[in-house]
Amino acid sequence: MLLFTAPADLKSHLEEIHGPKTTLGLLPTMGALHNGHLELMRRAVAENDLTVASIFVNPLQFNNPDDLTKYPRTLDEDCAMLEAAGCDLVFAPSAEDMYAQPPTLKLDFGQLEHVMEGAFRPGHFNGVGIVVARLFHIVQPDRAYFGQKDLQQVAVVRRLVEDLAFPLELVVCPTVREADGLAMSSRNRRLNPQERVLAPLIFRTLSEAKERLLAGQTVADVKQRVREQFARQPEFSLEYFEVADARSLQPVAATLSDGQTALCIAANLGAVRLIDNVLF
């Protein structure tokens, strides 16, 4: 496995090895890899002739400076895991490699900016959009792999691909969970042992809410119940629990009949912000 830090070096290497008869899969990450990332990489390896994983903690997408500073950085460990999963190339630029000058471009994802992650993390999707577009330009993948856990990010990247006509296929893979249901996330390693025991409440809440909606309870009642459940848990601070259309991510007042309802949650557990969702 080869490691590149300079975008120009990776680009010229890929120009040599990625011809029209080979397919290239890209897995964009911010490192601190876990089994969820490795599942995506294994799928990319199975579906492509060549694979690139990017590891870049993108400052543009952090609206909270403390979150950026505390984001785990584990490059050596990440590279060893990627190599074992069959990855061919790792792209791990510094912020200076990636942004010689701070980008001034502002992307507007319309209504996606006004709900859930868009509403609670101003500027976040602008940063995601800019870095993902840059990665697509540098790597020019045939397929790009993203996890369903970041459902709204998937919707944003889909818009980016459509609006800017990137010639690639977006592959979205199911959320990988710990045995107790907690969605795998790089942030989980920042939970202390007590918080780690409490964290599965998020997935339990989503699963229970789904059952209640399927049993005919109204969206308003289910939302109220979730708010009450979290109010009883002082360790958590609930940012949002939303019942939304899984494609547009806009809130819905009743579940959709075509299997496209998404239940989405974001909550802070101590100093760690966790998100999760289920679709049905």
Enumerate the active-site residues.
37
Q: Does 156 bind ligand PAF (CB under 6 A)?
A: no
Q: Side by side, which strands form the sheet with 50-55?
A: 2-4, 89-91, 50-55, 24-29, 143-147, 169-173
Does residue 131 touch ligand PAF according to CB under 6 A? yes
x/- string (CB under 6 A) for ligand PAF, residues 221-260? ----------------------------------------
Distance CA 168, CA 250 (A): 26
Site residues for ligand PAF, 23-62, by CB under 6 A, read: 28-30, 58, 61
Coil, helix or strand for 280? Answer: coil
Contact status: 129 vs ligand PAF (CB under 6 A):
no
Minimum separation from the CB atom of position 215 to ligand PAF (A)? 34
Provide the 3-class DSSP secondary structure of residue 236.
strand
Least separation in angstroms between CB 15 and ligand PAF:
23
Residue 11 half-sphere exposure, CB side, CA atoms within 13 Å?
12
Q: How far is the CB of 237 from ligand PAF (least distance, A)?
A: 22
Binding of residue 152 to ligand PAF (CB under 6 A)? no
Note every long-range contact of 252-256, with CB atoms under 8 Å and residues 24 or more positions apart, other chains counting: 252/219, 253/219, 253/220, 254/218, 254/219, 255/213, 255/214, 255/219, 255/280
Closer residue to ligand PAF, CB minimum distance, 135 or 226: 135
Give 125 or 230: the residue with its C-beta nearer to ligand PAF.
Answer: 125
In whole angstroms, how close is the CB of 278 to ligand PAF at the nearest point? 19
Torsion of CA 155, 255, 220, 247, to 10 degrees: 10
Rule CB under 6 A: is residue 89 a binding residue for ligand PAF? Answer: no
The single residue among 33, 50, 107, 132 that binds ligand PAF, judged by CB under 6 A, is 132
Establish if 277 lies at the interface with ligand PAF (CB under 6 A): no
d(C-alpha 51, C-alpha 25), whole Å: 5
How many other C-beta atoms are found inside a 10 Å radius of the C-beta of residue 215? 8
The Cα 175–Cα 151 span in angstroms is 10
Asked if 279 contacts 148 with a C-beta cutoff of 8 angstroms, the reply is: yes
Minimum gap (Å) between residue 30 Cβ and ligand PAF? 4
Site for ligand PAF, rule CB under 6 A: 28-30, 58, 61, 128, 131-132, 150, 153
